[in-house]
A and B are shown apart, each in its own frame.
Chain A
Amino acid sequence: MNFENQGIIKRLADQYGPENLAVVLGNGEANGVEVFAETVMQGDPTYAGPLAGVALKIPVYHVLEPEVIDAVPEKLRDEKLQLSALVIDVESMRQTLQSSRAKL
């Protein structure tokens, strides 16, 4: 996750409280999802960004996981997410994110 976004997430966590936040990702491939999740849950694993050493414990989801997509109205789901759902293999990302969320 780039440093600018890490800084913004840290500021939002200070403003709203991390317990009131959730992160929703839109990654196209599983590559990188684990690092994203670790960054906002446990802190930046590279120890280089604003979230280094900051465990916000914010739950991370993928937009195509049932917990998220079920909250989207059917019309929007069909228009905006249907094509992505055909080409993105969400299952492997779901397993990674579920396992990360279970540690919170």
Chain B
Amino acid sequence: MLKGKKVIAIGERDGVPGPVIAECLEGGGLEVVFQATECFV
């Protein structure tokens, strides 16, 4: 699954934003190589 993978975090403004995903995954020892937050409005 995610173990050993480099993660691309694409968050959403009205969901979970990219920086939050990155912080959570890095806290779990995963490597986040890019994060962004998209907006569908």
**A72 to B36, Cβ gap below 8 A?**
no
**A68 to B25, Cβ gap below 8 A?**
yes
Q: Which of A2, A28, A72 contacts B25 (CB 8 A)?
A: A72
- Counting chain B CB atoms within 10 Å of each CB, which of A12, A21, A32, A72 scores highest? A72
Given the contacts A9-B8, A68-B2, A72-B25, A28 and B15 also touching, CB distance less than 8 Å: yes
Q: Which residues of A contact B37 (CB under 8 A)?
A: 26
- Counting chain A CB atoms within 10 Å of each CB, which of B9, B11, B24, B25 scores highest? B24
Q: A1-21 CB contact bits vs B (8 Å, 1 = yes)?
A: 110010011001000100011
Given the contacts A63-B24, A71-B25, A72-B27, A27 and B8 also touching, CB distance less than 8 Å: no
Interface size class of B (residues with CB under 8 A): 20 to 34
Q: B13-41 CB contact bits vs A (8 Å, 1 = yes)?
A: 01111101101110111100110111010
**B24 to A76, Cβ gap below 8 A?**
yes
**A24 to B28, Cβ gap below 8 A?**
no
**B20 to A23, Cβ gap below 8 A?**
no
Name the residue of chain B whose CB is nearest to the CB of A9.
B8
Given contacts A61-B1, A71-B30, 5 further A-B contacts (CB under 8 A): A23-B9, A28-B14, A28-B16, A58-B8, A80-B24
